[in-house]
Structure 1
Amino acid sequence: MRFRRLCAAVLLAAFLPVPTPANAAQTTCEDVYTPVQFGLIKQTMYGRLCVPQGAKTLQVLVPGGTYTSGYWDIPVDSDKRSVVRAMNNAGIATMAVDRIGSGKSTKPLSILVDVPNQAQAVHQVIEKLRPRFAKVIVGGHSIGSAIAMAEAGIYKDVDGVLVTGMTHQWDYVRAVPALTNLVPALLDAKLGLRGLDVGYLTTVAGSRYRMFHAPGPEVPAVTSWDEATKDVVSAGEFVTTALMSNLVLPVSAAIDVPVMTMQTSADYFCGTPPLGADCSSAQALVRSEKPFYPKAPRLDGYVVNGYGHVFNFDTKSADAYHAALVAWQRGI
């Protein structure tokens, strides 16, 4: 009798549904490799597409220099640090891409890798996905923000623009010395194995906390992951970012959809104008940046305090930052 009851229990357990974590069953993720025209040549842009069931809004997210799509889905304490997870939990789809030349995207000669060509590639990714969604937001961090602004200003195919880690006024006194931490990737012990040309750059070993995270807390697991997954940036991306965001007529002047600028007060892009935007408050940030978005019907701002350039790694501000981003998207 006991044996029969045991067998019955085993059979019942086999057919009962297994509980899944909240949102796990509702969001489907896939790796997507999009063939793109990149200037005059063909390339492939990698992206990780995550779509919650019933999602009507898509965020296309572009990382900054020496980062990949992983910047938007940081696995260390991901419940706090992952923008992808926060957006998916709010019912917003995400497509985090690797810039051409980095990560799982193809790697042409570095002289071809600049902001206009990257924007062209992101535009084609958006074209492929646009029919599935009622609203599309293009967003970026640092150089990725310059690419997002160029994409929106040139192609006019999105409903909003997210700009993080980038303003139109830079504190060159702090930014230029930070760039001395960059070296040709071919000199790096791991990245040198890719056989990239001298125009691809990466950070000197051991410099990432000081360059990107300070004055935030130094968390060994974070800095170890950041160092282990560091990638490359082209010299051309740096030059065209400067030219298109603040040294000549900025491409943002052509953006005609709502913009959210989210910055951290400790960044190279914040300070006392003209050496950095005024990031003393969200309102001050908007006043400081508004002249560079003359056609945008709406400019909103958000300021993180107490962390460096890569504030997606900050757990202290994460909940409020993610909530503000979700609320902005729902309001445009």
Structure 2
Amino acid sequence: MRTSVRAMAAAAAAALLCLTPGAAHADPAASPDRCQQVSFPVPGGTLAATLCLPPDRPTDTVMVLMAGSNYNASYWDFGYAPETYNFRRAMNAAGYATLVADRLGNGASSRPTSMSLTATATAQALHDIVQALRHGLGGAQPFSKVVTGGHSLSSGTSVMEATNYHDVDGVLLTGYSHALNIPEVLGVISTYYQAVADPQFAGRGYDSGYLVTRPGARLHDFFGPDNVDPQVLAIDEATKETFSLTEYPDGLMSTLPGMSSLITAPTLIVNGSLDRLSCGPAYSICADAPALQAAEAPFFSPAARLRTFVLPGSGHSVNLARNTADYHAAVIDWMKSIVG
């Protein structure tokens, strides 16, 4: 397995380090909010992404946003009530470009065999995306500042990328901590079943290793029960996404002591106060931002300049809580402090 992962990573690097404006497909007709579709060649297929620029000003900063398991790009670019729930638009309005990418096997990206998917390969692809953005992607301007943003599993891949390559200017980790509530994690995993058994995915070519949440499980798994719009919950169920358990073993390594201490870029951790996965027993470490700071600071070096934010009443999916605008404001304040 170690050899095949190295080979996959090397192939991804070769594909993207040779990237030219012609090799990364970009739709020349940008949408009114200045977005274009981009695809990245990686072992196993292509990663689909959308690059969006601020509507009213130039910028030299881009945020690379990737959703974790159970979600696709719509987590960051939510279509319902976008003035409230759309993280991507909030960052664009604040003056930052965004690139929202789907992992392999997820969303609009290619769907290889489920057993081939690993967090290590995703971290390598994330690194190559960072480099492509710095050199000018698909004819777009080069960005001098790149910040990665992850949720849950993709927070793990952001940690892996930042510790291996030290090439980003900031790391946003959401739905992440070193105090995973293992019984709750196992409880959430018990709500997964094969995508081929789900009416939304049956007959679409998924192999038996692709999993999704069972219908009706997401309220318990990912939300604070009193902090969710019923329409958001319905759309979340309708847009739920597949993943493979093979992405978890190396991805969860980022939550063990040691790896995060190697991050040298400013880091912000955001959790909901009722995140049953990331907030330890009885939600103790997520009582408020100081409690989360005290719990997480020992795992980071001074170079990370760690900051924390807790969204009251939110579960694991902070982007979809009713009060998510407070989290947007906290991220924008942090971004101003690290990149201007």
| Bucket of the pairwise TM-score, normalised by the shorter protein | 0.7 to 0.9
Q: Secondary structure at the match of 1:236?
A: helix
CA contact 2:150–2:173 (8 Å) conserved in 1: yes
RMSD of the alignment, in Å? 2.0
Unpaired segments of 5 or more residues in structure 2? 1-29, 136-141
In the alignment, which residue of structure 2 is the partner of 1:100? 104
Relative distance call for 1:168 and 1:199 in structure 2 (3 A) is: same
Matches of 2:278 and 2:132 in 1, distance apart? Answer: 36
What's the offset of the Cα at 1:229?
A: 0.9
In the alignment, which residue of structure 1 is the partner of 2:66? 62
Relative distance call for 1:268 and 1:227 in structure 2 (3 A) is: same
Q: Secondary structure at the match of 1:48?
A: strand
Letter in structure 2 aligned against 1:286? Q
Q: Secondary structure at the match of 2:125?
A: helix
In the alignment, which residue of structure 1 is the partner of 2:331? 325
Letter in structure 2 aligned against 1:67? Y
- The equivalences for 1:163-242 within 5 A come to 163-242=173-252
Q: Which of 266, 278, 282 is 2:285 aligned to?
A: 278
Relative distance call for 1:300 and 1:103 in structure 2 (3 A) is: same
Matches of 1:217 and 1:51 in 2, distance apart? Answer: 30
The answer to whether the aligner puts 1:111 opposite 2:115 as a matched pair is yes
The answer to whether the aligner puts 1:139 opposite 2:146 as a matched pair is no
Paired-residue identity, %:
36
What's the offset of the Cα at 1:176?
A: 1.5
Letter in structure 1 aligned against 2:325? D
CA contact 2:177–2:279 (8 Å) conserved in 1: no
What's the offset of the Cα at 1:127?
A: 1.3
In the alignment, which residue of structure 2 is the partner of 1:45? 47
Q: Which of 239, 261, 266 is 1:253 aligned to?
A: 261
Matches of 2:226 and 2:311 in 1, distance apart? Answer: 11
Deviations 1:137-178 (CA, angstroms, capped at 9, x unpaired): 001000111111111111221011000011111112322212
The answer to whether the aligner puts 1:120 opposite 2:120 as a matched pair is no
Matches of 2:328 and 2:217 in 1, distance apart? Answer: 28
What's the offset of the Cα at 1:119?
A: 0.6
What's the offset of the Cα at 1:27?
A: 4.2
CA contact 1:269–1:276 (8 Å) conserved in 2: no
In the alignment, which residue of structure 2 is the partner of 1:10? none
What's the offset of the Cα at 1:297?
A: 3.5
CA contact 2:278–2:316 (8 Å) conserved in 1: no
Unpaired segments of 5 or more residues in structure 1? 1-23
Deviations 1:210-231 (CA, angstroms, capped at 9, x unpaired): 2212323453321221111111
Matches of 1:194 and 1:127 in 2, distance apart? Answer: 34
TM-score normalised to structure 2 length = 0.83
TM-score normalised to structure 1 length = 0.85
- The equivalences for 1:242-321 within 5 A come to 242-246=252-256, 249-271=257-279, 278-294=285-301, 296-316=303-323, 318-321=324-327
CA contact 1:269–1:277 (8 Å) conserved in 2: no
In the alignment, which residue of structure 1 is the partner of 2:5? none
What's the offset of the Cα at 1:198?
A: 2.0
